[in-house]
């Protein structure tokens, strides 16, 4: 077998094998943890929960985000919004909310210092035994805090919990594909990782943390471009249990322009590379062996993206030049019979996600048609972001604070009430 043939086989078999693992893990999780669950968990205590909402230039979203938290059915919580030097009307809106609601407090930063630093400052203001972090575009389900509290009150080794982010703006093809992605890819992966005992990353959109665990790992690292991935690994290296709770739902906005999506995925890819660099010392400690499969899988996914683009370039060269060596050796990594099998696997995977996720999102079946575009277009797009972001992640100098800008929040938002119907 030639090198190109091995590359072609890797492109084909890696996603197929991982898809099978995710489907099996997702189905097992569903029957083990989700099936026949009550609307609310049985709680014997209601510890104070501090909801931290970092925001920068979120005038269009911050009020509905805060009000969604205030609509929570959980009886014991506080809300702290950290305004990170916004240049729009965010501060004035927050001051109005503080005046209207005694549970809401505002921390106003005058210099943009980044999300991680904002969370660290907010933590110092908080009083809760459980700290919940919510993005400024995320609208919490009324039951989310209940389900988060249940894990922390019943399992002392739980240090972090990742919630279940759902897409609420679905007005474009990009948003429809991301809706399918969060259910059929991200949702199934998190279920499988929960079954295996190690979660790669909490979702920064909606997550909860034990106060003691946050202090144990030294709070958020302000020099990492993706603070959520880094914090997850810090927790697990200190042997805290990190869990996934599907019923802790948060409705979020996703990018609906290619540029907005490009920026988001480049940041994710760079953050992943930074994390495997910073935490490579897991290989020097036998006690960290349960993290090794996550590390290997993440590296393999980065390698896959590079090989995928290399093979696409070779195949394209063969088509343009008429060089049948490349065409015969490689074939089209997207089209032909193997691409059809990948497409079928993708549709089957989404069908599985529909079965396990339908009760959380009754309208998700409407996105089923669009999922076929995921392996055709999205793979190329994501592979290109990995190609661009990998050198940045490998050469990033740690120690310098990572500041932020408010991401693309989509072309049109769907209200929380409409989404719940």
Section 193-218 average pLDDT: 91
Sign of CA dihedral 289, 294, 295, 299: positive
| Whether pLDDT at 316 is above 70 | no
* Cβ atoms of 194 and 28 closer than 8 Å: no
Position 376 scores a pLDDT of 64
Residues 92-116: pLDDT tens digits?
A: 999 999 999 999 999 999 888 888 8
Give 120's pLDDT tier (boundaries 50, 70, 90).
very high
CATH assignment at residue 145:
3.90.550.10
15 or 99: which leads in pLDDT: 99
* Contact (Cβ atoms closer than 8 angstroms) between residue 250 and residue 140: yes
Residue 384 resides in a domain: no
Query: What integer is the mean pLDDT of 186-195?
Result: 89
How far is residue 43 from each of residues 6, 50, 68, 101, measured CA to CA in Å?
54, 18, 22, 26
Share of the chain above pLDDT 70, in %: 84
Whether residue 25 has pLDDT greater than 80: yes
Residue 333 belongs to some domain of the structure: no
Classify residue 181: in a domain, yes or no. Answer: yes
Lowest-pLDDT range, 173-182, 212-221, 230-239, 320-329? 320-329
Q: 25-34, 52-61, 246-255, 373-382 — which is least confidently predicted?
A: 373-382
Do 94 and 62 touch, CB atoms closer than 8 A? yes
Structure-block tokens of residue 109: 């930063």
Instruction: Report pLDDT for 417.
Output: 40
In a domain, 135, yes or no: yes
Q: What is the pLDDT of residue 9?
A: 77
The answer to the question of residue 383 being in a domain is no
For range 15-21, the mean pLDDT: 86
When pLDDT is averaged across residues 238-248 and rounded to a whole number, the result is 93
User: How many residues comprise the chain?
Assistant: 421
Buried residues in 131-152 as b, exposed as e (16+ CB within 10 A): bbbbbbbbbbbbbbbbbbbbbb
pLDDT at 379 over 80: no
Task: Provide the domain limits for residue 227.
Answer: 43-257
Residue at 253 is within a domain: yes
Half-sphere exposure of 333 (CA within 13 A, CB side): 32
pTM (predicted TM-score) = 0.85
Q: Say if 284 falls within a structural domain.
A: no
Domain count of the fold of the chain: 1
Residue 335: its pLDDT value, please? 46
265-285 pLDDT, tens digit each: 898 899 889 999 999 999 999
Residue 75 lies in a domain: yes
């Amino acid at each position: 077998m030639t090198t190109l043939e091995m590359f072609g086989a890797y492109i084909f078999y890696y996603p197929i094998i991982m898809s099978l693992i995710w489907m099996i893990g997702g189905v097992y999780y569903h029957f083990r943890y989700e099936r026949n669950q009550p609307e609310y968990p049985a709680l014997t205590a209601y510890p104070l929960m501090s909801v931290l909402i970092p925001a920068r230039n979120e005038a269009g979203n911050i009020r509905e985000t805060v009000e969604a938290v205030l609509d929570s059915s959980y009886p014991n919580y506080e809300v702290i919004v950290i305004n990170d030097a916004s240049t729009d009307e965010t501060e004035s809106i927050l001051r109005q909310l503080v005046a209207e609601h005694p549970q809401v407090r505002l921390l106003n930063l005058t210099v943009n210092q980044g999300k991680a630093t904002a969370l660290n400052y907010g933590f110092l203001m908080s009083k809760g035994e459980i700290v919940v972090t919510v993005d400024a575009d995320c609208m919490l389900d009324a039951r989310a805090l209940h389900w988060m509290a249940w894990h922390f009150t019943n399992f002392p080794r739980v240090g972090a919990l990742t919630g279940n982010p759902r897409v609420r703006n679905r007005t474009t093809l990009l948003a429809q594909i991301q809706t399918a992605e969060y259910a059929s890819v991200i949702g199934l992966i998190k279920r499988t990782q929960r079954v295996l005992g190690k979660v790669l990353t909490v979702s920064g959109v909606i997550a909860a943390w034990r106060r003691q665990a946050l202090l144990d790992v030294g709070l958020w690292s302000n020099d990492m471009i993706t603070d959520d991935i880094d914090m997850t690994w810090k927790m697990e290296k200190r042997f805290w249990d990190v869990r996934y709770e599907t019923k802790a739902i948060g409705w979020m906005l996703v990018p609906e322009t290619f540029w907005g999506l490009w920026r988001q995925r480049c940041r994710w890819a760079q953050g992943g590379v930074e994390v495997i660099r910073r935490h490579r010392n897991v290989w020097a400690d036998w006690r960290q062996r349960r993290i090794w499969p996550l590390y290997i899988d993440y590296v393999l996914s980065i390698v896959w993206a590079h090989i995928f683009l290399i093979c696409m370039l070779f195949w394209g060269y063969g088509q343009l030049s008429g060089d049948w060596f490349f065409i015969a050796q490689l074939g089209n990594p997207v089209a032909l019979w193997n691409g059809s099998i990948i497409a079928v696997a993708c549709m089957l995977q989404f069908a599985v996600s529909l079965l396990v996720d339908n009760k959380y999102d009754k309208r998700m079946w409407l996105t089923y048609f669009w999922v076929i575009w995921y392996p055709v277009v999205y793979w190329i797009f994501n592979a290109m972001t990995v190609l661009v972001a990998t050198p940045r992640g490998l050469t990033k100098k740690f120690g310098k604070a990572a500041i932020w800008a408010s991401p693309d929040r989509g072309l049109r938002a769907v209200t929380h009430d409409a989404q719940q119907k």
